[in-house]
Amino acid sequence: MSYTSTSLVINELGTNYDNADDLTTAHITNFIEQADGIIDSRAYPHYNPFNAYDSLKTDSTDTYTVPGLIGQCSKNLAVAYGLQQLRAKKSNNSHSDTIEHYFALAEATLDALERGAFVKIETWRTFSLTFGDASPGFELDSNQSFINPTALDSGDPPHIFTDTVSVAAATGITNPTQLRYGKDYSVKWDKGWRQWVFERSESNLVSATTVTVTFKWDYRKDYADEPQGITMLNAG
């Protein structure tokens, strides 16, 4: 799983070097792995691992590519490492200023991650609820359902912005959009189950298979309810 691609790094570096010896594709792949490891280590206190880069994925699907800002950071680090190797291979060829430029760009993002600044909020399109579901071995009340989206490649539960959860459809409800969070239903993080739990108080929410919800999410590990819209880090 990589946050950028060898082709994006090569596009940035250009091709005016010996790619069979001085800087090979294998070298660049290794530099990307190093870059991603640094990103993960700096982001670890606040974030789950980010999704892998995929040029074919967009926000119009339910599976997302890496946030643009994180992809840029990985690319910038890998480019800096590549230039360092070229400088070492050709002692009369100095890339010092350019290397420092790419490291500085990457460091700005790494510092923000280390502070826990928000990374781009995503939107999950639809998720079907199953009330009273006992899988995977837990017991839920008939008015409860897990919200367990698989938006993250790592398999970790994404952080859900609970005040953005809305009921999209349900049998027996004429106007599901009129249901109100906190009145007709609630969404809470359960530390014991390590799952998000949807709990209905509206008696019309009776279907076990046709209720769907939409919500916004991000990569944070902090699952507590928080005020929204502060310290936004635009990810592109």
Q: pTM value? A: 0.83
pLDDT digits (tens, 9 = 90+) for 113-155: 999 987 888 877 778 888 886 665 567 888 888 887 878 889 8
- Write down the residue that tokens 């190797």 correspond to: 85
Antiparallel, parallel or unpaired: β 122-128 and 185-190: unpaired
Report the chain's mean pLDDT, rounded to a whole number.
84
DSSP bridge pairs for 181:
185
Domain locations along the chain:
6-116, 122-233
Q: How far apart are CA 109 and CA 42, in angstroms?
A: 10
pLDDT in tens, 87-117: 887 665 667 789 999 999 999 999 999 999 8
Distance, CA of 135 to CA of 215 (rounded, Å): 22
d(CA 99, CA 210): 55
Residue pair 143/203 in contact by the 8 Å Cβ criterion: no
